[in-house]
Amino acid sequence: MLQTRHAPAPDTLFLAPEVGLARARAHEAAGPARVVFALMVAARTTGPVLWLHPAWTRERLNGDGMRAFLDPGRLVFGRARSAIDILWAAEQALHSGRVPLVVADLPEPPGLVPVRRLHLAAEAGATVGPPPLALLLTPGEGGAPGVETRWRFAPAPGWSKDGAPRWHLHRLRARMAPEARWEARQGAGGMRLEPVASGPGA
């Protein structure tokens, strides 16, 4: 479940006091800056990060661009021939308990059964190592059923006062928290957030 600063859980990964992702669960990130969101999550972990993506796409992460968030050498990339293969590889990696974070870049939101299998695999992995976390990157507004949380991350126009890039962060779904929106920027200790009024945009 997603936790707040008033009820922290030892197995929650926090990007900010208001933004937590429960470990041993599967989460979803959508929006045009979802890759940046995944890099921010990866930066809050230690050890290797498995990043699975479709073999048929030409897009590749740039090592120089990743350095603003984490050491690119921590990422292990896997290319799969289908979405089913991506989900299978993610499930196996979570079950092993050897990687703290598995990022699955998917061409469309998966169904409920694959998401449930990821939850179970992450829970199994937590019995043999540090509780792993799965992050599903999905196009559009996302919509994978059964995920623990769903986020939308998009660039915000302009720059912050200190010259840092800004983003719109929208918590679309969480089991234990309401929908919420923030303006986010990268800080030394993680995300820095300013609440914004609910409404269209972001």
Instruction: Identify the segments of the chain with pLDDT beneath 70.
Output: 1-10, 159-161, 187-190, 197-202
What does the block give as tokens for 28? 């979803």
Q: What is the pLDDT of residue 181?
A: 95
pLDDT digits (tens, 9 = 90+) for 95-153: 999 999 999 999 999 999 999 999 999 999 999 999 999 999 999 999 999 999 999 99
Query: Contact 146/119 with Cβ under 8 angstroms?
Result: yes
Write down the pTM of the prediction.
0.90
Which residues, 6+ apart, have CB-to-CB distance to 94 below 8 Å? Answer: 102, 118, 121, 122, 124, 125, 132, 134
Backbone conformation region of residue 158, classed left if phi is above 0, alpha if psi is from -120 to 50, else beta:
left
Q: What is the pLDDT of residue 201?
A: 46
| Domain layout of the chain by residue ranges | 12-151
The CATH number that domain 12-151 falls under is: 3.40.50.300
Q: Which of 160, 156, 183, 181 is nearest to 171 (CA)?
A: 181
